[in-house]
Amino acid sequence: MTQPRSDRILAILTVRNEGAFLLEWLAHHRACGFTDFLVISNDCEDGTDLMLDRLQELGQLTHLRNDGPHDKGPQWSALKLANGHDLRRRADWIAVLDIDEFVNIHAGDRTIGALLSALPEADAITLTWRLFGNAGIRDFLDLPVREQFTRAAPAIMGWPWRAAMFKTLFRNDGTYARLGVHRPRGPDKSRLAGCRWFDGSGRRLGGAFLRSRIFSHYGRDNYRLVQLNHYALGSMQSYVLKCDRGRANRDASAFDLSYWVERNFNQVEDRSILALDDKVRANLSALRSDPGLAALHDRAVAWRQQRFEQLMSEEQWRALFGRLLMTPPSRVLSPEEHSLITGHALRARKQS
C-alpha cells in the first residue's frame, strides 16, 4: 500500500558544486516517493545553479539561490530560507537531506508510502546512516553512485558514534517550529507528549529523541524498514574536491583524514538500493533527454575533472591525495574495544 496521492512529501536539499550527482539523486528520490523538492544552492562554480534553474523550468523542483557570505554557514542560512517557504508550509512530511544521502526503504514496494503504511502511528521516523565506504575507488567517474559504492559498514556497529547519526522524516503538523540539519527543532512543549517517534526498524522512541538527540542507539540494527545510504566519501578524487569545498554548515571548516577514517567501512556488500533501479533509470533517462540538462551535466563533470587537476598543482592537496592512497579501509572495532572507549567517555563525563 502506498501513501495517498494527497500526501506531499518534501525533500529539502542544499548544494554547492555537485551538479555531477544531481540528476541521479533527483531520479532516485522521485522513484522512492518524494513529491516535492526545495533545493537551495550557494556559490556554485560548476553550473549546479544553472542545472537547478533548468529543472525548475521543467517543473521538477523549486530552486532558491543562497550565495554567501554566511555568518553561520550556508546550510543554516539555507534552512532559514526554507523554513518560511510555501512548500515547507504545504508539505505533509519533510526530510532535510544532503546530495550524498539516499533514502533506502526496505518495506513493501520500497516507497515512502510503504514506510508510512508500516508505521501508521508515526509522527517522525529516524533515517539512520548506513555508511558506505570508498571501496578503493581512486578516480571520479561519471557513473551512478549507487552502483559504484556497494560496500558498507555492518548493520550493528558500536564505534564511531557518528555512524549512528540520523536524518528525520517528520510529519509537518506544527509540533516543531524550525527545520534542522538532522532533526526538526523548536518543539512545541505542549505537543511533545503526543508526538510518536520510531526508529528505522519500527521501535518506538521517546525521551531525548523527541527534543534534541541526533544519533540512534548503539548496538542495534536500525535498518529493518529504512536506512539512509550515506556515500560520504565517494572516490578519492571526489573526496579531495569535498575537502576543497568545505563543510556546508561551517564555511571555514575543512575535511581531513580523520573524517575519511571514521567513514571508510567496507565490510558488507549492500545492493538493496538497486531494487528501485528500473524506476530510477527511467527517471534519469527522462531528465537526460532534455538537451540543456544533458549539456549542463557534462559541464559539471568536466568541471570536477579540471578542478582536481588544478588542486594537484598544490602540495597540500597532493599530500592529502597521497594519504588517501596510503590509508587502508577502516577496521570495525571489537565490542571490547568499543567498551574501552565508551568507558573512558563515561568516566570523563562523571568528572566534569
Q: What are the tens digits of pLDDT across the range 325-344?
A: 999 999 999 989 988 998 99
Distance CA(330)–CA(306), nearest Å, equals: 29
Please tell me the distance from the alpha carbon of residue 253 to that of residue 52, in angstroms, as a whole number. Answer: 26
Rounded to whole angstroms, the Cα distance separating 183 from 213 reads 8
Range of weakest confidence among 5-9, 114-118, 343-347: 5-9
DSSP string for residues in 292-335: HHHHHHHHHHHHHHHHHHHHTTSHHHHHHHHHHHHPPPPPPPPH
Judge whether residue 4 has pLDDT over 60.
no
Residues 104-118 have pLDDT tens digits of: 999 999 999 999 999
One-letter amino acid at 105 equals I
pLDDT digits (tens, 9 = 90+) for 92-107: 999 999 999 999 999 9
Residues paired with residue 85 on neighbouring β-strands, in sequence order: none
251-255-259 Cα angle (round to 5): 135
Instruction: Report d(CA 15, CA 78) in Å as an integer.
Output: 10
pLDDT at residue number 158: 82
What pLDDT, on the 0 to 100 scale, is given for residue 248? Answer: 46
Alpha carbon of residue 78 to chain centroid: 15
Mean of per-residue pLDDT scores for the chain: 94
The whole-angstrom separation of Cα 188 and Cα 45 is 40
Least confident of 148-152, 304-308, 344-348: 344-348
pLDDT for 247: 53
User: What is the reported pLDDT for 68?
Assistant: 84
Q: For 119-177, what is each residue's pLDDT tens digit?
A: 999 999 999 999 999 999 999 999 999 999 999 999 998 889 889 999 999 999 999 99
Q: Evaluate whether 41 touches 16 at the Cβ level (below 8 Å).
A: yes
* pLDDT single digits (tens) 29-60: 999 999 999 999 999 999 999 999 999 999 99
CA–CA separation, 205 vs 124, rounded Å?
10
Helix (H) or strand (E) holding 226: strand 226-230
CA angle centred on 148, ends 282 and 116, rounded to 5°: 55
Give the Cα separation of 179 and 11 in Å (integer).
Answer: 12
- Residue 245: pLDDT band with limits 50, 70, 90: confident
Per-residue model confidence as pLDDT tens digits over 62-87: 999 999 888 888 899 999 999 999 99
- φ and ψ at residue 13, rounded to 5 degrees: -135, 140
Cis peptide bond N-terminal to 335, omega within 30: no
- Rounded Cα–Cα distance for residues 107 and 112 (Å): 9
State the DSSP code for 342. Answer: H
For residue 250, the model assigns a pLDDT of: 42
248-299 pLDDT, tens digit per residue, is 444 434 568 999 999 999 999 999 999 999 999 999 999 999 999 999 999 9
Angle between helices 19-31 and 291-311 (to 10 degrees): 130
Q: Residue 119: its pLDDT value, please? A: 98
Match 580523520 to its residue by C-alpha cell.
258
Q: Give the residue-averaged pLDDT of 303-328.
A: 97
**CB-based contact 133:140 (threshold 8 Å):** no
